[in-house]
Protein backbone atom coordinates (compact mmCIF):
# COMPACT_ATOMS: atom_id res chain seq x y z
CA UNK A 1 0.00 0.00 0.00
CA UNK A 2 1.39 3.39 -1.07
CA UNK A 3 0.48 5.98 1.54
CA UNK A 4 0.69 8.71 -1.10
CA UNK A 5 -2.23 7.28 -3.07
CA UNK A 6 -5.48 9.33 -2.89
CA UNK A 7 -7.46 6.21 -1.94
CA UNK A 8 -5.95 3.66 0.43
CA UNK A 9 -7.21 0.10 0.77
CA UNK A 10 -6.37 -2.33 3.53
CA UNK A 11 -8.04 -5.28 5.21
CA UNK A 12 -8.48 -5.90 8.92
CA UNK A 13 -9.95 -9.31 9.60
CA UNK A 14 -12.72 -9.63 7.03
CA UNK A 15 -13.39 -5.91 6.70
CA UNK A 16 -12.11 -3.90 3.73
CA UNK A 17 -11.17 -0.35 4.73
CA UNK A 18 -11.36 2.44 2.16
CA UNK A 19 -9.60 5.63 3.23
CA UNK A 20 -9.90 8.86 1.27
CA UNK A 21 -6.37 10.21 1.41
CA UNK A 22 -6.18 13.86 0.38
CA UNK A 23 -6.17 15.45 3.85
CA UNK A 24 -4.82 18.81 2.68
CA UNK A 25 -7.77 19.06 0.29
CA UNK A 26 -10.16 17.79 2.97
CA UNK A 27 -10.27 14.53 1.01
CA UNK A 28 -12.11 16.15 -1.90
CA UNK A 29 -13.03 13.61 -4.56
CA UNK A 30 -11.35 13.46 -7.94
CA UNK A 31 -12.46 11.35 -10.89
CA UNK A 32 -9.67 8.84 -10.31
CA UNK A 33 -10.73 8.47 -6.67
CA UNK A 34 -14.29 7.71 -7.71
CA UNK A 35 -13.07 5.04 -10.11
CA UNK A 36 -10.76 3.57 -7.47
CA UNK A 37 -13.59 3.29 -4.94
CA UNK A 38 -15.91 1.79 -7.54
CA UNK A 39 -13.31 -0.81 -8.49
CA UNK A 40 -12.78 -1.68 -4.83
CA UNK A 41 -16.51 -2.19 -4.30
CA UNK A 42 -16.80 -4.29 -7.44
CA UNK A 43 -14.08 -6.61 -6.16
CA UNK A 44 -15.40 -6.72 -2.60
CA UNK A 45 -18.97 -7.54 -3.66
CA UNK A 46 -17.88 -10.88 -5.07
CA UNK A 47 -15.15 -11.66 -2.53
CA UNK A 48 -16.39 -14.13 0.09
CA UNK A 49 -13.47 -13.17 2.34
CA UNK A 50 -14.89 -9.63 2.71
CA UNK A 51 -17.85 -9.34 5.06
CA UNK A 52 -18.11 -5.53 5.22
CA UNK A 53 -16.73 -2.20 3.97
CA UNK A 54 -15.63 0.73 6.13
CA UNK A 55 -15.04 4.11 4.51
CA UNK A 56 -13.35 7.00 6.30
CA UNK A 57 -11.23 10.07 5.63
CA UNK A 58 -7.58 10.59 6.47
CA UNK A 59 -6.49 13.43 8.72
CA UNK A 60 -8.54 14.88 11.54
CA UNK A 61 -10.77 17.34 9.68
CA UNK A 62 -13.37 15.16 8.04
CA UNK A 63 -14.45 12.35 5.77
CA UNK A 64 -14.77 14.43 2.60
CA UNK A 65 -15.59 18.05 1.75
CA UNK A 66 -17.09 17.13 -1.64
CA UNK A 67 -15.94 17.02 -5.22
CA UNK A 68 -12.84 18.86 -6.39
CA UNK A 69 -14.64 22.14 -7.03
CA UNK A 70 -11.61 24.00 -8.34
CA UNK A 71 -11.13 21.36 -11.05
CA UNK A 72 -14.79 21.73 -12.05
CA UNK A 73 -14.33 25.52 -12.18
CA UNK A 74 -11.26 25.25 -14.41
CA UNK A 75 -13.00 22.71 -16.61
CA UNK A 76 -16.04 24.94 -17.13
CA UNK A 77 -13.95 28.03 -17.83
CA UNK A 78 -11.96 26.15 -20.46
CA UNK A 79 -15.10 24.87 -22.18
CA UNK A 80 -14.25 21.24 -21.52
CA UNK A 81 -16.62 18.45 -20.41
CA UNK A 82 -14.50 16.39 -18.02
CA UNK A 83 -16.77 17.34 -15.12
CA UNK A 84 -19.76 15.75 -16.84
CA UNK A 85 -17.81 12.49 -17.16
CA UNK A 86 -16.86 12.80 -13.48
CA UNK A 87 -20.49 13.21 -12.43
CA UNK A 88 -21.56 10.29 -14.61
CA UNK A 89 -19.19 7.95 -12.76
CA UNK A 90 -19.76 9.57 -9.36
CA UNK A 91 -23.54 9.18 -9.51
CA UNK A 92 -23.18 5.57 -10.62
CA UNK A 93 -20.96 5.03 -7.58
CA UNK A 94 -23.60 6.60 -5.33
CA UNK A 95 -26.16 4.13 -6.67
CA UNK A 96 -23.74 1.21 -6.21
CA UNK A 97 -23.19 2.19 -2.57
CA UNK A 98 -26.94 2.30 -1.93
CA UNK A 99 -27.38 -1.20 -3.39
CA UNK A 100 -24.18 -2.70 -2.03
CA UNK A 101 -24.93 -6.27 -0.89
CA UNK A 102 -22.74 -6.18 2.23
CA UNK A 103 -22.66 -3.81 5.21
CA UNK A 104 -21.18 -0.50 4.11
CA UNK A 105 -20.09 1.41 7.20
CA UNK A 106 -19.44 5.12 6.70
CA UNK A 107 -17.53 6.93 9.45
CA UNK A 108 -18.89 10.45 8.98
CA UNK A 109 -16.54 12.15 11.42
CA UNK A 110 -15.82 15.85 10.89
CA UNK A 111 -16.76 17.60 7.64
CA UNK A 112 -19.03 15.61 5.30
CA UNK A 113 -20.30 17.77 2.47
CA UNK A 114 -21.50 17.39 -1.11
CA UNK A 115 -19.73 14.42 -2.66
CA UNK A 116 -18.77 13.31 0.85
CA UNK A 117 -22.48 12.82 1.55
CA UNK A 118 -22.68 10.82 -1.67
CA UNK A 119 -20.07 8.27 -0.58
CA UNK A 120 -21.47 7.96 2.94
CA UNK A 121 -25.15 8.74 3.42
CA UNK A 122 -26.30 6.11 0.89
CA UNK A 123 -24.55 3.40 2.88
CA UNK A 124 -26.34 0.91 5.06
CA UNK A 125 -24.56 1.88 8.31
CA UNK A 126 -23.86 5.60 8.76
CA UNK A 127 -21.99 6.76 11.86
CA UNK A 128 -21.68 10.38 12.99
CA UNK A 129 -19.74 11.90 15.89
CA UNK A 130 -19.84 15.10 17.91
CA UNK A 131 -17.48 16.58 15.31
CA UNK A 132 -19.70 15.82 12.32
CA UNK A 133 -20.84 18.68 10.11
CA UNK A 134 -23.03 17.31 7.34
CA UNK A 135 -24.24 19.51 4.50
CA UNK A 136 -25.25 19.88 0.89
CA UNK A 137 -23.98 23.47 0.39
CA UNK A 138 -24.28 23.67 -3.40
CA UNK A 139 -26.56 26.71 -3.72
CA UNK A 140 -23.80 28.92 -2.29
CA UNK A 141 -21.69 28.23 -5.38
CA UNK A 142 -24.51 28.51 -7.91
CA UNK A 143 -25.03 24.75 -8.12
CA UNK A 144 -27.82 22.37 -7.05
CA UNK A 145 -27.61 19.48 -4.54
CA UNK A 146 -26.56 16.31 -6.34
CA UNK A 147 -25.01 12.86 -5.54
CA UNK A 148 -28.49 11.74 -4.48
CA UNK A 149 -28.76 14.62 -2.04
CA UNK A 150 -32.17 15.68 -3.29
CA UNK A 151 -33.36 12.09 -2.80
CA UNK A 152 -32.21 12.08 0.83
CA UNK A 153 -33.39 15.59 1.65
CA UNK A 154 -36.79 15.13 0.00
CA UNK A 155 -37.42 12.27 2.42
CA UNK A 156 -36.46 14.13 5.59
CA UNK A 157 -39.30 14.84 8.06
CA UNK A 158 -41.61 17.68 7.09
CA UNK A 159 -39.77 20.47 5.28
CA UNK A 160 -36.42 20.01 7.01
CA UNK A 161 -34.83 18.75 3.81
CA UNK A 162 -36.09 21.74 1.83
CA UNK A 163 -34.58 24.04 4.46
CA UNK A 164 -31.20 22.30 4.29
CA UNK A 165 -31.22 22.12 0.48
CA UNK A 166 -31.93 25.81 -0.05
CA UNK A 167 -29.69 27.20 2.69
CA UNK A 168 -26.87 24.66 2.45
CA UNK A 169 -26.79 24.64 6.24
CA UNK A 170 -24.49 22.14 7.95
CA UNK A 171 -25.99 20.01 10.71
CA UNK A 172 -24.50 18.07 13.59
CA UNK A 173 -24.97 14.48 14.64
CA UNK A 174 -28.48 14.53 16.10
CA UNK A 175 -29.90 16.57 13.24
CA UNK A 176 -28.19 14.35 10.67
CA UNK A 177 -29.90 11.33 12.24
CA UNK A 178 -33.24 13.19 12.42
CA UNK A 179 -33.03 14.08 8.73
CA UNK A 180 -32.15 10.54 7.64
CA UNK A 181 -28.56 11.34 6.70
CA UNK A 182 -27.08 9.10 9.41
CA UNK A 183 -28.06 6.22 11.67
CA UNK A 184 -25.81 6.04 14.73
CA UNK A 185 -23.85 8.35 17.01
CA UNK A 186 -20.46 7.19 18.25
CA UNK A 187 -18.21 9.65 20.12
CA UNK A 188 -15.06 10.37 18.12
CA UNK A 189 -12.93 8.80 20.84
CA UNK A 190 -14.88 5.58 20.33
CA UNK A 191 -14.13 5.20 16.62
CA UNK A 192 -10.93 3.26 17.24
CA UNK A 193 -12.84 0.80 19.44
CA UNK A 194 -15.55 0.50 16.79
CA UNK A 195 -12.96 -0.21 14.11
CA UNK A 196 -11.36 -2.88 16.29
CA UNK A 197 -14.74 -4.47 16.98
CA UNK A 198 -15.56 -4.53 13.27
CA UNK A 199 -12.29 -6.30 12.50
CA UNK A 200 -13.50 -9.28 14.57
CA UNK A 201 -16.81 -9.58 12.71
CA UNK A 202 -17.43 -12.56 10.46
CA UNK A 203 -21.08 -11.99 9.50
CA UNK A 204 -23.28 -8.99 8.59
CA UNK A 205 -25.27 -9.49 11.80
CA UNK A 206 -22.08 -9.19 13.84
CA UNK A 207 -21.27 -5.94 12.05
CA UNK A 208 -24.64 -4.47 12.97
CA UNK A 209 -24.27 -5.61 16.56
CA UNK A 210 -20.74 -4.14 16.85
CA UNK A 211 -22.04 -0.75 15.76
CA UNK A 212 -25.00 -0.92 18.14
CA UNK A 213 -22.71 -1.74 21.07
CA UNK A 214 -20.50 1.27 20.38
CA UNK A 215 -23.33 3.70 19.65
CA UNK A 216 -24.98 5.98 22.17
CA UNK A 217 -27.39 8.92 22.17
CA UNK A 218 -26.21 12.00 20.30
CA UNK A 219 -26.12 15.38 22.03
CA UNK A 220 -29.35 17.30 21.45
CA UNK A 221 -29.70 18.95 18.05
CA UNK A 222 -31.49 22.10 16.91
CA UNK A 223 -33.89 21.18 14.12
CA UNK A 224 -36.44 19.25 16.17
CA UNK A 225 -37.22 22.43 18.09
CA UNK A 226 -37.51 24.46 14.87
CA UNK A 227 -39.87 22.16 13.00
CA UNK A 228 -42.92 24.38 13.45
CA UNK A 229 -41.62 27.46 11.64
CA UNK A 230 -39.58 25.46 9.13
CA UNK A 231 -42.52 23.27 8.14
CA UNK A 232 -44.84 26.26 7.84
CA UNK A 233 -42.51 28.52 5.87
CA UNK A 234 -41.07 25.95 3.48
CA UNK A 235 -44.46 24.47 2.61
CA UNK A 236 -44.94 27.45 0.28
CA UNK A 237 -45.01 26.83 -3.46
CA UNK A 238 -42.29 29.29 -4.51
CA UNK A 239 -38.98 30.57 -3.21
CA UNK A 240 -40.42 34.09 -3.09
CA UNK A 241 -43.29 32.95 -0.87
CA UNK A 242 -40.93 30.96 1.35
CA UNK A 243 -38.88 34.13 1.92
CA UNK A 244 -42.05 36.13 2.61
CA UNK A 245 -43.19 33.61 5.21
CA UNK A 246 -39.76 33.53 6.83
CA UNK A 247 -39.73 37.32 6.99
CA UNK A 248 -43.26 37.56 8.37
CA UNK A 249 -42.59 34.97 11.08
CA UNK A 250 -40.56 37.50 13.04
CA UNK A 251 -38.32 34.79 14.47
CA UNK A 252 -34.58 35.52 14.74
CA UNK A 253 -33.66 32.13 13.25
CA UNK A 254 -35.98 32.74 10.30
CA UNK A 255 -34.53 36.22 9.82
CA UNK A 256 -31.01 34.74 9.69
CA UNK A 257 -32.26 32.23 7.13
CA UNK A 258 -33.58 35.02 4.91
CA UNK A 259 -30.18 36.72 5.07
CA UNK A 260 -28.56 33.46 3.93
CA UNK A 261 -30.99 32.96 1.06
CA UNK A 262 -30.30 36.47 -0.21
CA UNK A 263 -26.60 35.63 -0.63
CA UNK A 264 -26.99 32.55 -2.84
CA UNK A 265 -27.77 32.09 -6.51
CA UNK A 266 -31.41 32.94 -7.35
CA UNK A 267 -31.36 30.39 -10.17
CA UNK A 268 -29.92 27.71 -7.90
CA UNK A 269 -32.60 28.43 -5.30
CA UNK A 270 -35.47 28.00 -7.72
CA UNK A 271 -34.01 24.94 -9.42
CA UNK A 272 -33.19 23.37 -6.05
CA UNK A 273 -36.74 23.82 -4.78
CA UNK A 274 -38.07 22.21 -7.94
CA UNK A 275 -35.49 19.39 -7.72
CA UNK A 276 -36.40 18.51 -4.13
CA UNK A 277 -40.13 18.60 -4.87
CA UNK A 278 -39.70 16.47 -7.98
CA UNK A 279 -37.39 14.03 -6.15
CA UNK A 280 -40.07 13.42 -3.56
CA UNK A 281 -42.36 12.11 -6.30
CA UNK A 282 -39.75 9.81 -7.85
CA UNK A 283 -39.76 6.22 -6.63
CA UNK A 284 -36.05 5.37 -6.58
CA UNK A 285 -32.62 6.80 -5.92
CA UNK A 286 -31.67 5.87 -9.48
CA UNK A 287 -34.47 7.97 -10.95
CA UNK A 288 -33.41 10.92 -8.79
CA UNK A 289 -29.78 10.54 -9.83
CA UNK A 290 -30.90 10.60 -13.46
CA UNK A 291 -32.71 13.86 -12.72
CA UNK A 292 -29.74 15.31 -10.87
CA UNK A 293 -27.47 14.49 -13.81
CA UNK A 294 -29.70 16.53 -16.12
CA UNK A 295 -29.67 19.42 -13.68
CA UNK A 296 -25.92 19.26 -13.12
CA UNK A 297 -25.20 19.28 -16.85
CA UNK A 298 -27.39 22.33 -17.33
CA UNK A 299 -25.84 24.11 -14.33
CA UNK A 300 -22.37 23.35 -15.70
CA UNK A 301 -23.30 25.20 -18.89
CA UNK A 302 -24.71 28.22 -17.04
CA UNK A 303 -22.91 31.25 -15.60
CA UNK A 304 -23.56 30.89 -11.87
CA UNK A 305 -21.45 27.82 -11.09
CA UNK A 306 -18.24 29.41 -12.39
CA UNK A 307 -19.07 32.69 -10.69
CA UNK A 308 -19.97 31.02 -7.41
CA UNK A 309 -16.74 29.04 -7.26
CA UNK A 310 -14.77 32.14 -8.20
CA UNK A 311 -16.30 34.14 -5.34
CA UNK A 312 -16.08 31.38 -2.72
CA UNK A 313 -13.01 29.35 -3.59
CA UNK A 314 -10.77 31.15 -6.08
CA UNK A 315 -10.85 34.90 -5.34
CA UNK A 316 -12.60 34.42 -2.00
CA UNK A 317 -14.19 37.86 -2.17
CA UNK A 318 -17.60 36.33 -1.29
CA UNK A 319 -19.24 38.80 -3.66
CA UNK A 320 -20.73 36.70 -6.47
CA UNK A 321 -22.42 38.46 -9.38
CA UNK A 322 -25.30 36.09 -10.07
CA UNK A 323 -27.02 36.08 -13.45
CA UNK A 324 -29.90 36.79 -13.08
CA UNK A 325 -29.21 38.75 -9.91
CA UNK A 326 -32.76 38.53 -8.52
CA UNK A 327 -35.38 35.84 -8.10
CA UNK A 328 -37.74 37.83 -10.32
CA UNK A 329 -35.36 37.28 -13.22
CA UNK A 330 -35.66 33.48 -13.05
CA UNK A 331 -38.77 32.33 -14.89
CA UNK A 332 -40.65 29.05 -14.69
CA UNK A 333 -39.41 28.24 -18.20
CA UNK A 334 -35.82 28.85 -17.07
CA UNK A 335 -36.28 26.33 -14.26
CA UNK A 336 -38.04 23.78 -16.46
CA UNK A 337 -35.12 23.71 -18.90
CA UNK A 338 -32.87 22.23 -16.21
CA UNK A 339 -35.02 19.10 -16.13
CA UNK A 340 -35.34 18.48 -19.86
CA UNK A 341 -34.04 15.11 -21.13
CA UNK A 342 -30.48 14.92 -22.44
CA UNK A 343 -31.20 12.57 -25.32
CA UNK A 344 -28.43 10.06 -25.86
CA UNK A 345 -26.42 11.69 -23.06
CA UNK A 346 -28.79 10.57 -20.30
CA UNK A 347 -27.30 8.87 -17.24
CA UNK A 348 -29.87 6.11 -17.60
CA UNK A 349 -29.61 4.52 -14.15
CA UNK A 350 -33.33 4.05 -13.70
CA UNK A 351 -33.66 2.00 -16.87
CA UNK A 352 -30.37 0.07 -16.77
Positions marked catalytic? 67, 115, 138, 146
The DSSP-derived string for 184-249 is: EE--GGGHHHHHHHHHT--SHHHHHHHHHHH-BPPPP-SGGGGHHHHHHHHTSSSHHHHHHHHHHH
Interacting residues of 17 by C-beta distance below 8 A, sequence separation 6+: 8, 9, 10, 11, 53, 54, 55, 56, 195
Strand spans (E) along the chain: 7-12, 15-20, 52-57, 62-64, 104-108, 111-113, 125-128, 133-135, 184-185
Nearest alpha carbon to residue 63 among 5, 104, 114: 114
Q: Which of 171, 157, 281, 260 is nearest to 220 (CA)?
A: 171
Amino acid sequence: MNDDEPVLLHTEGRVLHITLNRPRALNALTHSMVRHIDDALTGAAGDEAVVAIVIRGSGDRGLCAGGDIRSIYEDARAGRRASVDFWRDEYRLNARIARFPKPYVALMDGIVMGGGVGVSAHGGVRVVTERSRVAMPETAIGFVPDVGGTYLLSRAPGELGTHLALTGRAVGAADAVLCGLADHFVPSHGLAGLTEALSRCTTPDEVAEAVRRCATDAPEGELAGQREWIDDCYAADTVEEIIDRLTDSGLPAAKETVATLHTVSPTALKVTLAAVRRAKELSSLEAVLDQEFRVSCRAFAGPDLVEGVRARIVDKDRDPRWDPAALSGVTADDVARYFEPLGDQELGLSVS
